[in-house]
Amino acid sequence: MTSKVFTAVPNGIDYKTITVEADANHGLPAFNIIGMASRPIAESRDRIRSAIRNSGFSFPAKSKITINLAPADMSKDSTGLDLPIALSILTLSQQLLQQDLVGRMFVGELSLSGEIKPIKGIINIVEAAQKNQIKDLYIPYQNSAQAAIAVNTKINVFPVKNLREL
């Protein structure tokens, strides 16, 4: 089974749309992130694992999980990918339904406790959601004032405080 979660990352004064694809297979337990992920993203594995568990969900223990950040030929350097990666894992483990993620975009850094921390470049991400005809955008609560500057009426922005609330 695979899952897909849509997000975006700031790229200078613009943005890049990213698809977080996840796959789980039987085998030796592993959690790998591929697709030209930077060091902060590679280090997010421990944050994501802890955030999922500390939010009352279970992390798949006996699976080989592969996360692909597409497009693979572009370097990614944003901790704002933590939340979409966590959601893709929750979808793989059937704690969320893939259909609940369709038409939605997610962004945010996770703390070990599952709190969603603010990120840089939220205006760029709002623009990415609007240009990609996303109907619902979920952002860190602390970024809501910034996001309000760029939002038009075609998109719903939902500020969230933690993974459990989402």
Q: Would you say 89 and 30 are in contact if contact means Cβ atoms under 8 Å apart?
A: no
Three-state secondary structure call for residue 119: coil
The Cα 166–Cα 163 span in angstroms is 5
Contact call for residues 6 and 17 (beta carbons, < 8 A): yes
What pTM was computed for the model? 0.93
Q: Is 16 a residue whose pLDDT tops 80?
A: yes
Structure tokens at 53: 């568990």
With a cut of 90, say whether residue 134 has pLDDT above it.
Answer: yes
Alpha helices in 25-164 (DSSP H): 39-42, 44-54, 82-92, 122-131, 144-150
Question: What distance, in Å, lies between the first and last C-alpha atoms of the chain?
Answer: 23
Tokens 């975006």: give the residue: 8
Contact 123, 149 (CB under 8 A): yes
DSSP character at residue 40:
H
Structure tokens belonging to residue 69: 């950040």
User: What domains sit in the chain, N to C, each tagged with a CATH number?
Assistant: 2-160 (3.30.230.10)
| Higher-confidence position of 157 and 34 | 157
pLDDT band at 152 (very low <50, low <70, confident <90, very high): confident
Residue 151 has pLDDT above 80, yes or no: no
Reported confidence tier of residue 36, pLDDT bands at 50, 70, 90: confident
- Tell me: pLDDT of 20 over 90: yes
